[in-house]
Chain A
């Protein structure tokens, strides 16, 4: 049944190529079906695999469905579902979005290294088309080149893994003993290859142009696609390579945090400012993943979930504002609901109490201290300090500056969604288990290589 997550959007994408007008409702249909499929198979709590073409692992391609991939798929599809509720955002990008959805699901679910490369490339190509909305061609092109290079490196890493172990199956690879020098090559290349999508410094040059270029790209790329990419970081470095190469990730991630925040501070464009902030948050998540323990990884994905929800609201509101107003001073006086949601989301981003970000940030710092890591909390708090600076500056500008005469209609669907999500952030502060439970399960599943290997290589369920 899990293969439906990939098959349905893919199928509907091809159908809608023929009947263009149907793209929007079909996208909605795909999103709803995927959500239904996921909700029907709530947290498997074991490792299930779905083999393709009756090839038993380690041969052939198989999809792995465990707590980690379930949670990741849930988050990914949730944001696609939200986007599908806003027809004016989807416009003529229904086909691209469906392909992106299929690719992101495939990327998350696959248990095969080469297959994950294929899905990553499809993800990049469709993400590029989404990024080119509103004539943002040059930035999309830059993204394509960078994504292409990353893809080549990822492919190279996969081939190295294949030559070193003779297998492409993740479970099988994780069992094999790889010589130290090959492991260095493989993990480094994977770190770089994934680094582009995971927004690691200095491979994240594309982020500001793509996120800042239109209103659709940040909403979906900054939430679903980043979650998928960061999931793969955890899967590869946590499950498959047992934390080899984590030092590289850790160092790059810490630099990413500071660079991202500093770049966000000077940014005058609302979308771009928060694009940089999402770079910094990705840094926090990667650094946390590189710690390798199940708790650390669980907290990383908890933080990422909070960040994704907040970013969705922020980008949604920011996209609306940037493309409806020339002068953003005091616009929230005209859009109180949007403004309140935006403020709550940004405060959650900073980690003020009463909002979800507080729960994840404090937990992360606490976990780091208990691991006797004193550098990362300091970096994180410094980053938060810079964050306070620009978050408050934007809020003050958007709420309190003298407004102009420009006027735009209140977007009802977007406003409602933003409000619900920002209230969700408050709910998560009060009851963190809403996200934390799933994220911790995800962390456990990612860290537990033995269970993963056992599940993939011995139990065969389902199949097509």
Chain B
């Protein structure tokens, strides 16, 4: 099946799925899942270099082509999407619009695949909009807040997209082609740095908006935080990666080192790339600090996505072979981790109907599998070996240190440490600690929901030990883009990832970890276990052990004494009065709104007198100008 046929039939099928789901949404969901499985096998079977015509638009050929990058990004996306599709077979029974959900998620899949396959900027734009549009229609299916979230998501995304479109046409006007590799070729020989930089930044802005990089990051909190729970996994795990893909296209497919070789800024990195790296670093700081503050567990991970988007951008932005591979590998790691985390949250919400950390606790005994999935996912997210998350961060640090970018490296370290803090908050608040009384009948989610989570966890673990299946296509991408093509980083015959200052042997490290784990387990069995106490309602239940006292006072508001309320109060106080970028953007929105009010009041509401005045004024001005 040709690539174009595949995409078009997917789009058509999605409408069919809607009508099937109208009869039985579960049948639709299962069909979706089967289509997803088919897509995965299809993607793995495709040969690199396959191209296919989509048609012509404005005399330009619209082409799809299958590259290492499309393979890698499609595989990662499908992994996330198919897991969520499986998850949804059960989860959808808590949702109000299952049929529409089934339709749009398939449409979004088609859109995303199209983006990764696109060989020219307009094809990319078309599928990009399809993906954005269909995902934007799923977002408002959540709770009340999600309605506003959809609008903010659409506008923020559009602001990036339209800048991209302007850049695409600017490139077309100058080089007469829309094909990405052609444009790259022309840009290398184009003498005008100003226009090149404009095209570069305009194209990148779509990626900036989509992957939640400062200054267009604010939609992530509200959209990821309020979207239907399982869909947040797709938003954060997959859709954000569309942005990373566009960033990679602008930085790597257009060989920025050669294009902007005449404006080096620091350590051989051009000013344009450095600008993106600075944005990435800002995103890490903002994402980390804001994530630490959140009480809403989904918003917390949404901000963590901002920070991780920053890592990816920094890694790719260096255009260093190590950094590039690290950044691209981080796409995979963050996709899997975020998907698992959001699915775990979706499971928790599915059972408890709340996403506030301070209202939860102690679910480890009720939902052990979900807990385990979450635990492994955050280990990967925080970048601790032996999970795969470590490898990508390690590679990025390697690149930063080699380039001597110590400030950026410091920020990256800071983000890493911060991520320990924020991923621990839901761990402690949701799964550990005391179980509130109202959740004493909560059960583990059914296997349909935990199987996808655990599958992803296992994949992440396996890749952490044996990362070469993922690193191989990344190396292929690097060769495609010609970033130090003679250098080999992944050396699977020696089980090594070769860095500049030493190598990493993931298998060895894993074995060490196993040994450490065994020792710890032995110690754990040797020492006495802690005793369980009842904290939250000592007065409510007769016979419950009362061993909590608060200055002899009767406790009316036990929630306030819950250790999860203001979990990091001491730390948060350090940046309590931080400036809020969200407020700045809100002011901008309000400005347009007020402008509309003003326009309406002056030109549209008034009586005939005012109309006459404007007509006369216009005549006078026009005559004055033209004479």
A-side residues, CB < 8 A to B, are: 141-142, 145-146, 149-150, 153, 181, 184-185, 188-189, 191-192, 195-196, 201-209, 245, 247-248, 252, 259, 262-267, 347, 352-354, 358, 362-363, 365-366, 369-370, 372, 374, 377-378, 381-382, 384-386, 388-389, 392-393, 396-397, 399-401
Which residue in B133, B169, B626, B627 is a CB contact (below 8 Å) of A248?
Answer: B626
Contacts of B166 in A (CB 8 A): 377-378, 381
Chain B 160-212 residues near chain A, CB threshold 8 A: 162-163, 165-166, 169-170, 172-173
**CA separation between A384 and B162, bound complex, in Å?**
8
Contacts of B155 in A (CB 8 A): 385, 388-389, 392
Chain A's closest residue to B162 (CB) is A381
Given contacts A202-B617, A259-B599, A392-B155, 6 further A-B contacts (CB under 8 A): A259-B603, A352-B129, A365-B169, A392-B150, A396-B150, A401-B147
Q: Is the CB of B129 within 8 A of A353?
A: yes
Q: B477 to nearest A CB, angstroms?
A: 27
Q: Is the CB of A400 within 8 A of B141?
A: yes
Q: Is B608 engaged at the interface, CB distance under 8 Å to the other chain? A: yes
Chain B's closest residue to A181 (CB) is B627
Contacts of A141 in B (CB 8 A): 608
Contacts of A362 in B (CB 8 A): 57-58, 122
Q: Is the CB of B604 within 8 A of A146?
A: no
Contacts of A203 in B (CB 8 A): 611, 614-615, 618
**CA separation between A267 and B592, bound complex, in Å?**
12
Q: Is B619 engaged at the interface, CB distance under 8 Å to the other chain? A: yes
**CA separation between A141 and B606, bound complex, in Å?**
13
Q: B602 to nearest A CB, angstroms?
A: 9
Q: Is B622 engaged at the interface, CB distance under 8 Å to the other chain? A: yes
Chain B's closest residue to A189 (CB) is B619
Q: Is B607 engaged at the interface, CB distance under 8 Å to the other chain? A: yes
**CA separation between A378 and B170, bound complex, in Å?**
11
Which residue in A264, A381, A389 is a CB contact (below 8 Å) of B154?
Answer: A389
Q: A185 to nearest B CB, angstroms?
A: 8
Q: A437 to nearest B CB, angstroms?
A: 15
Contacts of A386 in B (CB 8 A): 592
Chain B's closest residue to A208 (CB) is B604
Between-chain CB contacts (< 8 Å), 15 pairs: A145-B608, A192-B618, A203-B618, A204-B603, A205-B606, A245-B626, A248-B625, A248-B626, A263-B600, A266-B594, A267-B600, A366-B58, A366-B172, A385-B162, A392-B136
Q: Is the CB of B626 within 8 A of A149?
A: no
Contacts of B163 in A (CB 8 A): 381
Contacts of A185 in B (CB 8 A): 623
Beyond A184-B627, A266-B596, whether A205 also contacts B133 by CB under 8 A is no
Q: Which 6 A-B pairs have the closest CB atoms?
A: A266-B596, A381-B162, A202-B614, A369-B173, A145-B608, A392-B154
Chain B 556-604 residues near chain A, CB threshold 8 A: 592-597, 599-600, 603-604
Q: A247 to nearest B CB, angstroms?
A: 8
Which residue in A184, A381, A400 is a CB contact (below 8 Å) of B165?
Answer: A381
Chain B 95-137 residues near chain A, CB threshold 8 A: 122, 125-127, 129-130, 133, 136
Contacts of A153 in B (CB 8 A): 615, 619
Chain B's closest residue to A402 (CB) is B144
Q: Is B280 engaged at the interface, CB distance under 8 Å to the other chain? A: no
Q: B261 to nearest A CB, angstroms?
A: 27
**CA separation between A263 and B595, bound complex, in Å?**
8
B-side residues, CB < 8 A to A, are: 11, 57-58, 122, 125-127, 129-130, 133, 136, 140-141, 147, 150-151, 154-155, 158-159, 162-163, 165-166, 169-170, 172-173, 592-597, 599-600, 603-604, 606-608, 610-612, 614-615, 617-619, 622-623, 625-627
Q: Is the CB of B593 within 8 A of A266?
A: yes
Which residue in A204, A267, A399 is a CB contact (below 8 Å) of B596?
Answer: A267
Q: Is the CB of A389 within 8 A of B172?
A: no
Q: Is the CB of B611 within 8 A of A142?
A: yes
Q: Is the CB of A205 within 8 A of B603?
A: yes
**CA separation between A188 and B618, bound complex, in Å?**
10
**CA separation between A192 and B616, bound complex, in Å?**
10
Chain A's closest residue to B55 (CB) is A430
Q: Is the CB of A263 within 8 A of B172?
A: no
**CA separation between A118 and B165, bound complex, in Å?**
45
Contacts of A188 in B (CB 8 A): 619, 622-623, 626
Contacts of A146 in B (CB 8 A): 608, 611-612, 615
**CA separation between A325 and B299, bound complex, in Å?**
36
**CA separation between A75 and B590, bound complex, in Å?**
39
Contacts of B140 in A (CB 8 A): 396, 399-400
Q: Is the CB of A149 within 8 A of B600?
A: no
**CA separation between A204 and B133, bound complex, in Å?**
32
Q: Is the CB of A389 within 8 A of B619?
A: no
Q: Is the CB of A262 within 8 A of B129?
A: no
**CA separation between A358 and B165, bound complex, in Å?**
12
Beyond A149-B615, A192-B618, A381-B166, whether A262 also contacts B599 by CB under 8 A is yes
Contacts of A388 in B (CB 8 A): 154-155, 158
**CA separation between A396 and B141, bound complex, in Å?**
9
Q: Is the CB of A400 within 8 A of B626?
A: no
Chain A's closest residue to B139 (CB) is A396
Q: Is the CB of B619 within 8 A of A192?
A: yes
**CA separation between A248 and B154, bound complex, in Å?**
34
Q: A338 to nearest B CB, angstroms?
A: 16
Contacts of A399 in B (CB 8 A): 140
Contacts of A247 in B (CB 8 A): 626
Q: B595 to nearest A CB, angstroms?
A: 5
**CA separation between A188 and B154, bound complex, in Å?**
40
Chain B's closest residue to A347 (CB) is B133
Q: Is the CB of A205 within 8 A of B618?
A: no
Q: A257 to nearest B CB, angstroms?
A: 12
**CA separation between A82 and B321, bound complex, in Å?**
63
Q: B153 to nearest A CB, angstroms?
A: 8
Which residue in B599, B619, B625 is a CB contact (below 8 Å) of A263?
Answer: B599
Q: Is the CB of B596 within 8 A of A396?
A: no
Contacts of B600 in A (CB 8 A): 208, 263, 266-267
Most B-side CB within 10 Å, residue of A189, A208, A354, A389: A389
Q: Is the CB of A396 within 8 A of B615?
A: no
Q: B249 to nearest A CB, angstroms?
A: 19
**CA separation between A363 and B170, bound complex, in Å?**
14
Q: Is the CB of A262 within 8 A of B170?
A: no
Contacts of B141 in A (CB 8 A): 400
Q: B212 to nearest A CB, angstroms?
A: 18
Q: B218 to nearest A CB, angstroms?
A: 15
Q: Is the CB of B173 within 8 A of A372?
A: yes
Contacts of A392 in B (CB 8 A): 136, 150-151, 154-155
**CA separation between A366 and B121, bound complex, in Å?**
13
Chain B's closest residue to A206 (CB) is B611
Which residue in A195, A352, A363, A401 is a CB contact (below 8 Å) of B58?
Answer: A363
